[in-house]
Structure 1
Amino acid sequence: MQFATRLQALSSNVFADMDRAKAQAKASGKEIIDLSLGSSDLPTANHVLNVIAQSLSDCDTHGYLLFHGTQAFRQAAAKWYKERFSVEIDPETEVLPLIGSQEGTAHLPLAILNPGDFALLLDPGYPSHAGGVYLAGGQIYTMPLLAEKRFLPIFADIPETILAQTKMMVLSYPHNPTTATATLDFFQEAVAFCLQHNLVLVHDFPYVDLVFAGEKPPSVLQADPKKEVSIEFFTLSKSYNMGGFRIGYAIGNAQLIKALRQIKAVVDFNQYQGILNGAIAALSGSQSSVQKTVNTFQERRDCFIDALKQIGWEVPTPSATMYVWAKLPKPWQNNSIDFCTKLVAETGVAVSPGAGFGKSGEGYVRFALVKKPEILQLATQKIAKFLQQNNQ
């Protein structure tokens, strides 16, 4: 049996690799503490769940849902965006429901890239950003993110020969995995750069609310209010703890929204109407659960950073996201995959290797703060024992 060559680029995935390692450790009798996946363990707000539950008994919600049936959700998303960022949004032409923002980042390259075209991606970066480019037959030019540059790309370093073949740039701040944030000035620079080189600017924005210090993160459309080159992806997975409901949306340039809608029409209809009803309740109702989520992850961050310091692992305190991005102790700094696979095999503690997010991620690991403080403290005790036994 022969398969398409495009699958070759998708043969390795950081989450799939760690899933296999976790399964092996569990089969050997280890109790798993899974800090490898950014899937929130916090509950969806009751007022959201109640709306979804009420929808179940309404048989009018049980059929296929086409684009025009999503109007109320699109209006709620546009209203939320206007109130949050003071940018006018047309819900008819500038908003598109998605099955999570990952659908958007994976499918948009199909609408932009011809085979051989380049996309500019952050390194390290979220794996689905690269996967979408590979599915479209595109090529990737990575923009290294370095601690000394505050994990921001340097646009001037991109060769002109690459830019001549490039169609899109993908950014994502607050950033997964490095936890870095970006200012409005940075996005204005990015918009100017994309206008100069005729690039589509894609901004993946799942951690819009998970910020613990400083100003709230800006939207890329605040830097591109005319929506000349930009599209942004939101998800309700993080702010509203609705990861399993798979609901998000794209917002921005009307031509890009139309093109993504054409791709989406081939792949699926939309989510169940009841899920969209719940999402409307989340966006338009009380936001107290969002602040509670932020407070919970801040408490976990502080607990975990302190616990790491107590075992001699000094890590910068992140100002955003639900992760800790930690430079590995020597001599593990050139082999994050070995560190993570051996750690889970010996202790049951699962974390994500930095190399799984890109070449520039080597030497780091990512901890997801998806467990209660007492579990995070237990994890650090197991890590300390592991480091001692391995002479670190």
Structure 2
Amino acid sequence: MRKAEKLAGLPPYIFAQLDEKVYRLRESGVKDIVDLGKADPDHPTPDAVVKRLQETAADPENHHYPAFRGSLFFREHIAKWYKERFGVNVDPEKEVIALIGSKEGLFHISLAYLQQGDVGLVPDPSFPAYNDGVFFAGGETYRMKLTRENHYLPDLQSIPEEIKKRTQLMFLNYPNNPTGVLAPDTYIQEVIRFAQENRIIVCYDHAYCEIYYDGKKPRSFLEFEGGKDVGVEFITFSKTFNMAGWRLGAAFGNEEIINSLLVVQSHINSGVFSPIQFAGVTALEQVWHTDFPETNRKEYQRRRDYAMDKFRSIGWDVHKPDATVYLWVPVPQGMTSLDFANKLLDEYRVVVAPGNAFGQTGEGFVRLSLTTAYENVVKGIDRLCEAITKWRTS
């Protein structure tokens, strides 16, 4: 069968490849594989959320098509949460839209604003959906390098004038996947000035706003003066409430941008199943006000701290993340990211994501996810450190 030529230009989706390789190993009888490759929370969704889904799914009134923008009930409650969490007022009728997970919105925003000749600024390394959305929209990706030397912040001054003139969208993500860093307030202010001067829309991926450590609470992009004028922020229930498979998120911000996203989504999907929206409201109204978020953070921090202590014990220089569920780990000299990931799986039965899956600047690193049980983190990190110690001297 003849495939669309466009598919040939897409890089392979590394997480699907990892899943397939692990599946084949397990089917062949291999056991004791530690998966640090993908960010799928190991703890269950809170009982109150599950119960609300069950109750509302049983009501025939919720079996109809939902509103494309999301129910006003959901939007009002998530706007209320946003005000409580960030101190930002958003109009639930005009400045909020429900999403089938934040990934959907981050992909579709490019379809709303890019066409051939337009540019999307994408961090490198970064979540693949940014680049993929730009690609499918027919735009051109300009990669903004994130390195330890620039504190994993894009150097806006280095972007060529010719690129800036054609740029419509800029994607940013802090707390950052995969590096785990936070952006200083002064940098966000610089981004807003840059966007205003160049008439660029900022798409701020805030997926990890509730997974932070040592009291370093992330701020919303819309908290900053001018933020709502130039941008839209995306959040997800996946990590905050262990709801990865539920596919629920939202976007907040500039009314015109939200409406443009709505136009695209109304042609592609039929909205979020209403009972899932009701369950999301329960998560915001009940679960978020309990000790659940802090308990979640403490558990992830326990896992992070074990890993960092172990890396220090072997003298391996790993950046200590301030937030997210990830570790960004350099590979031994002389090995590529993919070589290291494959060798680690084959010889030590540990799954990690090769850094070049997130962009060329990710070469030389692997991303580890801490979304598995503590004992698995211990086992996986111990094996990883054993491998590093062996291969860095061989």
**TM-score, normalised by the number of residues in structure 1:** 0.95
C-alpha change, 1:176 and 1:53, in structure 2 (3 Å) is: same
- Report the Cα offset of residue 10 of structure 1: 2.0
Corresponding residue SS for 1:379:
helix
Divergent runs of 4+, >4 A:
387-392
Pick one of 319, 322, 336 that aligns with 2:322: 319
Q: How does 1:2-41 map to 2 (within 5 A)?
A: 2-31=2-31, 32-41=33-42
Q: What is the SS of the residue equivalent to 1:149?
A: coil
Equivalent pairs counted in the alignment come to: 390
Give the percent of matched residue pairs that are identical in Structure 1 and Structure 2: 36
Q: Give the Å deviation of 1:23.
A: 2.9
Provide the residue aligned with 1:303 in structure 2. 306
Distance in structure 2 (CA, Å) of the matches to 1:53 and 1:213: 36
Q: Distance in 2 between matches of 1:193 and 1:382?
A: 44
Q: Which deviates more, 368-377 or 105-114?
A: 368-377
CA distance in 2 between partners of 1:237 and 1:373 (Å)? 19
Q: CA deviation at 1:153?
A: 0.7
8 Å contact kept, 1:24–1:345: no
Q: Which moved more, 1:250-259 or 1:19-28?
A: 19-28
Distance 1:24 1:226 in 2: 47
Match of 1:279 in 2: 280
Within a 5 Å distance, the mapping from 1:56-135 to structure 2 comes to: 56-67=57-68, 70-135=71-136
| More deviation, 342-351/378-387 | 378-387
CA deviations on 1:297-356 (whole Å, 9 max, x unpaired) are 011111222233344434232111101111112222xx0011101211222210011111
Q: 1: distance between equivalents of 2:284 and 2:226? A: 22
2: CA distance, partners of 1:315 / 1:66:
46
C-alpha distance in 1 between matches for 2:227 and 2:121:
23
**Counterpart residue identity of residue 346, structure 2:** A
1:223-234 correspondence to structure 2 within 5 Å: 223-225=224-226, 227-234=228-235
Query: Shift of the alpha carbon at 1:387?
Result: 4.2
- CA shift, 1:3, in A, is 2.4
Q: Report the AA paired with residue 165 of structure 2.
A: A
Let me know the Cα RMSD of the aligned residues: 1.7
* Cα contact 1:304–1:373 (8 A) shared by 2: no
Aligned to 2:350: 349
Using the TM superposition, name which of 264-273 and 134-143 deviates more.
264-273
Distance 1:28 1:385 in 2: 25
| Between 172-181 and 184-193, the greater mean CA deviation after superposition | 184-193
Q: Residue by residue, what CA displacement relative to the aligned partner does 1:7-44 show, whole Å, maximum 9, x if unpaired?
A: 12324122123223323433443322111001111121
Contact 1:25 1:348 in 2 (8 A): no
Q: Give unmatched runs, 5+ long, in structure 1.
A: none
Q: 1:23/1:389 Cα in 2 relative to 1: closer, same or farther (>3 Å)?
A: farther
Unaligned runs of 5+ in 2: none
CA shift in 2, pair 1:378/1:121, >3 Å: same
TM-score, normalised by the number of residues in structure 2: 0.95
CA offsets, 1:163-219, max 9 Å, x none?
Answer: 111111000000000111112221111011011001111100100011102531111
Q: Which moved more, 1:315-324 or 1:12-21?
A: 12-21
| Higher mean C-alpha deviation, range 163-172 or range 220-229 | 220-229
Shift of 1:363: 0.8
Task: Report if aligned partners of 1:124, 1:144 keep a CA contact under 8 Å in 2.
Answer: yes
Tell me the equivalent position of 1:152.
Answer: 153
Task: Tell me the distance in 1 between the aligned counterparts of 2:227 and 2:18.
Answer: 42
CA shift for structure 1 position 273: 1.1
Distance 2:383 2:294 in 1: 31
